[in-house]
Amino acid sequence: MKFQVLHKDGLARYGILNLGEVSIETPVFMPVGTYGCVKGVSSEDLQKIGIRLILGNAFHLYFRPGENIINSFGNLHNFMNWNGKILTDSGGYQIFSLSNFCKVLEKGVNFKNPENGNLLFLTPEKSIDIQHFLQSDIVMCFDECISYPNSWDKVKTSVERSLRWAKRSKKQFNKKNNKNMLFGIIQGGMFKDLRYFSIYEMLKIGFDGYALGGFAVGEPKKIMYSLIEKISLKLPEKKPRYLMGVGKPIDIVEAVSKGIDMFDCVIPTRNARNGFLFTKKEIIRIRNSKYKSDHLSLDSECTCYTCKNYSRAYLHHLDKSNETLGIRLNTIHNISYYSTLMNDLRQSIKKNELKKFIKNFYY
């Protein structure tokens, strides 16, 4: 498994991430399949779109369906009939998203499942063990994702704890004789000095790739973009860079221009379920009455299954009728939009035309 940067346009990079028999072109977007399923679509749908790498969540998969069920199928790939690759989040984000249901200690985090009350004491070692039985292709070290805004002192305490957990994560990962990749996570909130401190210490530990955590938690976009660029410039040139939980198309375009290689976010699937559909010209709110008799496809430039076969009027009808087919068709389109966006970004980097692409994207 290795990563190669094949071409650069400014800070933007076109590369290849080799994961065994599957090669992933970067920049790449990973649809989110928290419970081993990208909401609204099948594994076959994703394969037809051209998706080869998705994200799962170790925390949630541990609770449901659980270790015994997945082990009986061999791994998560077999369980969900997925012949692509999987990156799993370690559970660190749940410290932020489930802050009312957890208590952070030095050894690990006490979680209470908000759905059924089940308890889990998640440590760096336990997180790695869960990702091992899932047989993730890319494993994330366990970290603490802290809220924004927060004080410098609290963020510093959190960063130092995440660094100690990162060392424990790598030690446990090495015990497993894994043939997959382990990514470290850079934290530090919106404080440049703490981000630099995190980078310096994480590089000393050494990882196969580096993720930028703790973004898209309510901070102003200007601060996020500025920090992403500063962090990218400090990271190794020959290692993949992953911006966690981001984002909107405009955020992806900006982050690619600043040197980021990998992305994930629930936005394309969540927006699809709520009738917000991306096109190259606009966001279509398919629930609006003006689409009731619209014979056009969602996007005349899109070649996805939905756009080739169904009208806006039909999608509007499905949404108004609460038909689940509408969710599937909407999701296929939104994921296809993201897939096309990433391909367009890759091609523009290879041709040294990224600035032109960004200008056209905005205007």
User: What pLDDT does 126 receive?
Assistant: 98
For the chain, what percent of residues have pLDDT higher than 70?
Answer: 99
Question: Which pLDDT belongs to residue 176?
Answer: 86
Q: Is there a contact between 3 and 240 (Cβ–Cβ < 8 Å)?
A: yes
pTM, two decimal places = 0.97
Catalytic residue positions, numbered = 89, 264
Q: What is the pLDDT of residues 159-194, one digit of tens each?
A: 999 999 999 999 999 998 768 999 999 999 999 999
d(CA 299, CA 279): 6
Q: Which two tokens stand for residue 265?
A: 């976010």
Cα-trace Rg, the chain? 20
Q: Where are the domains of the chain?
A: 26-265, 266-363
Helix 249-257 to helix 324-350 angle, to the nearest 10 degrees?
20
Task: State mean pLDDT over 52-76.
Answer: 96
Q: pLDDT, tens digit, for every residue of 185-222?
A: 999 999 999 999 999 999 999 999 999 999 999 999 99
26-265: CATH number: 3.20.20.105
The three-state secondary structure class of 5 is strand
Q: For residue 185, which of 236, 134, 243, 239 has the smallest C-alpha distance? A: 243
- pLDDT greater than 80 at residue 1: no
Q: Which two tokens stand for residue 135?
A: 């047989």
In whole angstroms, give the CA distance from residue 261 to residue 243: 8
pLDDT in tens, 100-112: 999 999 999 999 9
Rounded to whole angstroms, the Cα distance separating 17 from 121 reads 33
